[in-house]
Amino acid sequence: MGLAATPEDQQNMFNLTQSMGYSDDGESGCTFGCHLAIDGRRYSNEQLAHQIASPPITLRIDSAKTAVTSVISLASQAAGSLGNIKITSAMPASACSSLKAKSTVEVIYTTYLPIYNNNQSWQGFDWTYTDLVLPVAASLSSNLQGCASSPSRFFEATDGPTLISAMQTLFANTVSSARLTK
């Protein structure tokens, strides 16, 4: 399907680039890796879909942003009211069910480190850590692991090297499962 969110959006992207005279290797129209020059300026897929197309064309990345925003919204609801600084629980793994039903979910959990008053451990935890993180810290890792599509798609990063390794694995998983379809 290329970069568009639906077959209709994919056809609209092709029609747009074709109407603008896009030609690469004798083929007219484009649906992937399009870079058109208009009035001396080059436009990418995203720019073509969002700024040039009328009405705008929905891309897969737009759908992914919507899904992530939805999960964040669910997490906020599950966590309680941040406006009142009241968190009652960590985001439950069940909040990810609808997203997992539609796609593969990979999670990188960057472990919370304690925040100390004046950065001095002997002065005890800062109130933000005590009030916001400590009550839910024990369930964060397991709940986030439950959000991942499988245990092999959950990564816990405690420092820079483990975060880099997790990101490399995540991207390798994504690239190995990516498919171009027509």
List the single range of 50-54, 55-59, 68-72 with lowest mean pLDDT.
Answer: 68-72
Average pLDDT, the chain: 74
Same domain, 153 and 91: yes
Least confident of 26-40, 74-88, 94-108: 74-88
Does 150 reside within a domain? Answer: yes
Residues 89 and 167 in one domain: yes
Within this chain, do residues 92 and 144 fall inside the same structural domain, yes or no?
Answer: yes
The C-alpha atoms of residue 149 and residue 171 are separated, in whole angstroms, by 15
Strands (E), the chain: 23-24, 27-28, 36-38, 41-43, 107-110, 154-157
Same domain for 91 and 52 = no
Among 114, 117, 162, 116, which Cα is nearest to 134's?
Answer: 114
| 80 or 113, which is more confident | 113
Whether residue 51 lies inside any domain: the answer is: yes
Q: Is the domain of 101 the same as that of 171? A: yes
Please check whether residues 38 and 96 belong to one and the same domain.
Answer: no
Give the model's confidence band at 1: pLDDT under 50 very low, under 70 low, under 90 confident, else very high: very low
Query: According to the model, what pLDDT value does residue 81 have?
Result: 46
Q: Is residue 74 part of a domain?
A: no
Same structural domain for residues 51 and 93? no
**Which residues form the domain of 161?**
84-177
- At 88, the pLDDT band (50, 70, 90 cuts) reads low
Q: Is residue 2 part of a domain?
A: no
Number of structural domains found in the chain: 2
Q: What SS3 class is residue 173?
A: helix
Domain contains 103:
yes
